[in-house]
Amino acid sequence: MNTEVLFARLNLAAFNPAAATGDGRWRDGQGRFVSENPATGEPLAGIGRATAADCAAALEMAVAAFPRWRAVPAPRRGLFVRELADELRRRRDDLGALVSLETGKIRAEGVGEIQEMIDIADFAVGLSRQLGGPTLPSERTEHRLMEQWHPLGVVGCVTAFNFPAAVWAWNAFLAAVCGDTVVWKPSPKAPLTAIAIQHLADRVARRHDAEGVFTLLLGDDPALAVALATDPRVALLSFTGSTAAGKRLAPLVAARMGRCLLECGGNNAAIVDESADLDLALPAIVFGAIGTAGQRCTTTRRLLVHAARMDEVAARLGHAYGQVKTGDPLAQDTLMGPLIDARAVENFLAAVAEARAAGGTLLHGGERLARPGHFVAPTLMRAENHWPVVQRETFAPILYLIPWDEFDQAIALNNAVPQGLASALFTRDLQRAERFLAAAGSDCGIANLNAGTSGAEIGGAFGGEKDTGGGREAGSDAWKAYMRRQTSAINRGNALPLAQGIVFELPR
Ligand code: UN1
């Protein structure tokens, strides 16, 4: 990979800016932070740090652009997103390589992430002609009720390093067709991806009078996210990241009666029962556990296996883990890249040590790899669900194997964590499948059957309950979070009947 050529193709200069006001202008900020290549530990580029003034400039652009953008008919807003998707299609492989370079996810996953942007763009374009509400029968004579969805305002979008492109697209493309403007604060661990995307967005924005619809703030100071959370001009704060950070930001938004859309941590389990087809389940489990080196919010962290099949599952997983090639994320045959940084490696080692101290048995991995960069071995451990380390989300490729005897117990274990994002059941038993999906089954936002916990497609609503934060993004009717609903009662008659049958007669 020739980084210089890639950077030149993606418009990434030696001196990268701190903020973009969405009209092609960039601001330098003050001071620099470094984007690092996690596969080597070497710096990729220095990026400007956005100051309070940069933050104010980006926000003011977004605020000023909103009434103009709101006035553009929704299907025409869709054309802006469509053209941006065309740019993404043309640059899919380059952008995918940049995602791999910056986050360490393997190339197939990097390219897949750009594909996910293209998919949500297509979805948003279709949606731009369907942002309707129902007309409802009124209880009053010669009346009808009507719902409309109106643009909401400025959306603050705070994203995490692990999906540095797709999660912005889920938010930004829906918000844009809904008539909103978006201020993006990406993770300081993946700023180059954001800069490259902003360049494309700026170019397309010029052709669509959409300057200021997408603005960008870069920096490694949590004050930037706090500024978006506290500013009353930010109608919706969409936050993707840790539960701890979400719990800090959400009250700030609530205190000013703003809206929050939270996608916080997951602690996802896959259940394997006596009847499960392991040829189907194992690849799903391995991809779920080690994809993005275990740094997806949908990563399979707990494998709940019927006790009678535990030895077989452990042996086959151990064999599969032995085949996983860990290394350069851009190399063709690599299946697992590095963790994002040195701190992530520390967290991985601490979790393995804690699980061992609690009585856990290491079946595979458990160690850091002796080579430059932040590599660890994919790890399998026997563990118990109630251990504090198992209850936590450690963003690393550790899969805890936990046995069960009765199916009720499997469901209870699935649900017995603070988080509620994704879950999966591998079974051939129809009744169990239905029980897993019923109200008393999985308590997660995502409950898959004979498919893994990670790798959701954009067509469904994405998000989860409990400590995951309750938000829903991407497909289905998630767009409603980006609009405000207005209900109208319309009287076509000459009388004024009141609802609830109230009689209210003024004296003549
Ligand atoms: C995330 O990890 O924040 O379902 C998003 C998946 C991806 C998205 C993950 N489509 O694994």
Strands (E), 186-306: 214-217, 234-240, 259-263, 268-272, 300-306
CA of 244 relative to ligand 1 center, distance in Å = 19
* pTM attached to this predicted model: 0.97
User: With a 6 A CB cut-off, is 292 part of the ligand 1 pocket?
Assistant: no
Q: 287: Cβ below 6 Å to ligand 1? A: no
- Domain 3-264+469-486, CATH 3.40.605.10 — does that match? yes
Where in the chain are the domains? Answer: 3-264+469-486, 268-460
Region 467-492: what's the mean pLDDT?
Answer: 98
Asked whether the beta carbons of 153 and 481 are under 8 A apart, the reply is no
pLDDT tens track for 308-357: 999 999 999 999 999 999 999 999 999 999 999 999 999 999 999 999 99
CATH top-level class for 268-460?
alpha beta
CA 184 to centroid of chain Cα atoms: 14
111 lines ligand 1 (CB under 6 A): no
CA of 141 relative to ligand 1 center, distance in Å: 49
Distance CA 326, CA 379 (A): 12
Distance, CA of 285 to CA of 301 (rounded, Å)? 9
> What tens digit of pLDDT does each residue of 214-272 get?
999 999 999 999 999 999 999 999 999 999 999 999 999 999 999 999 999 999 999 99
CA distances from 300 to 115, 453, 455, 468 (A): 22, 6, 11, 15
Beta bridge partners of 449: 425
Instruction: Return the best residue to mutate from 300, 454, 457, 473 for the ligand 1 pocket (most ligand atoms within 8 A of CB).
Output: 454
Q: How confident is the model at residue 14 (pLDDT cuts 50, 70, 90)?
A: confident
93: pLDDT strictly greater than 90: yes
pLDDT of residue 18: 95
| Distance in Å, CA 294 to ligand 1 centroid | 11
The CA–CA distances, whole Å, from 358 to 85, 389, 403, 464, 478 equal: 49, 9, 16, 29, 41
Partners of 293 in beta bridges: none
Predicted local confidence at residue 243, as pLDDT:
98
What is the percentage of the chain residues whose pLDDT exceeds 90? 99
Regarding the beta carbon of 296 and ligand 1, being less than 6 Å apart is answered yes
Closest ligand 1 atom to Cα of 298:
11
| pLDDT single digits (tens) 32-58 | 999 999 999 999 999 999 999 999 999
pLDDT of residue 1: 77
Q: Is 162 in the pocket of ligand 1 (CB under 6 A)?
A: yes
Average confidence (pLDDT) over 268-286? 98
User: How many whole angstroms separate alpha carbon 408 and alpha carbon 413?
Assistant: 9
Question: Residue of the nearest CA to atom 7 in ligand 1?
Answer: 455
- Residue 15: the pLDDT is 75
Please report the atom of ligand 1 found closest to the CA of residue 446: 4
Does the fold of domain 268-460 match that of domain 3-264+469-486?
no
pLDDT tens-digit series, residues 134-175 = 999 999 999 999 999 999 999 999 999 999 999 999 999 999
For 274, 397, 451, the CA distances from 283, given in Å and listed in that order, are: 18, 15, 10
Distance CA 291, CA 359 (A): 27
Closest CA to 488 of 130, 139, 135, 179: 135
Q: What is the average pLDDT score of the chain?
A: 97
Atom of ligand 1 nearest to the CA of 291: 11
Q: What are phi and psi of 416, to 5 degrees?
A: -85, 55
Residues noted as catalytic: 263, 297
Ligand 1 pocket, residue 19 CB under 6 Å? no
